[in-house]
Chain A
Amino acid sequence: QLQLRESGPGLLKPSETLSLNCTVSGGSIRSGGYYWGWIRQPPGRGLEWIGNINYSGHTYYNPSLESRFTISADTSRNQFSLNLKSVTAADTAVYYCTRVAGSWRTHVDYWGQGTLVTVSS
């Protein structure tokens, strides 16, 4: 059974850089046919797609978001990561790592449990 688990700091100060890792078990991020991505959800609000990375390391980001996000992958550790520079209170959210499936990689079939990131001075 595929499992995804997020890890990273729960609390940051404004202007710091957020680094989150997603460890995948029960499957390989190198397997073709899937993308791996990040979605966030501010407290009490809706879901926001951040971006995806494919098996060859190509990345795709939400064009509506600023270019502060970077997604990368470490296939040797079967992990992928999210970096967010210069965080503000508006970046406070639950961050989910996901597997994206479908012939055009159009839906999320596996989600991590989510990790709450709070930005506060």
Chain B
Amino acid sequence: QSALTQPPSASGSPGRSVTISCTGTSSDVGGYNYVSWYQQHPGKAPKLLIYEVNKRPSGVPDRFSGSKSGNTASLTVSGLQAEDEADYYCSSYAGNNSFVFGTGTKVTVL
């Protein structure tokens, strides 16, 4: 069970969009529609942003959206705001009641 691959960093100007990729295999991302995304600010616990590829929990702005194609999932943050500067992690169900996380992406708002 290897970690999902994310780019180490991504950036964008306020008001613009940034997209983060999350690449796995057919045993995790590609095999199930159970990809989730988490946002983590420094010193804080992660927060659920997206689950089941593209569903948002109550209270999460619709600026955050998720998608998946084959073995790669993506998170898009539209209308970037200063408070979106954080680390972002993807996660996927990997069968047999197991999970795997992504390597994490640091998003910088320029």
Contacts and interface: CB of A to CB of B under 8 A. Distances in A.
A108 interface: yes
A107 B48 contact: yes
Nearest to A109: B48
Interface residues of A, number: 24
Interface in A77-121: 96, 101-102, 104-109, 111-114
Contact-size category for B: 20 to 34
25 contacts: A35-B97, A46-B104, A47-B104, A48-B101, A49-B99, A49-B101, A52-B97, A60-B96, A62-B98, A62-B99, A63-B1, A96-B45, A96-B46, A102-B51, A102-B52, A104-B32, A106-B51, A107-B36, A107-B48, A107-B91, A108-B36, A108-B38, A109-B57, A111-B47, A113-B45
Interface of A: 35, 39, 46-49, 52, 60, 62-64, 96, 101-102, 104-109, 111-114
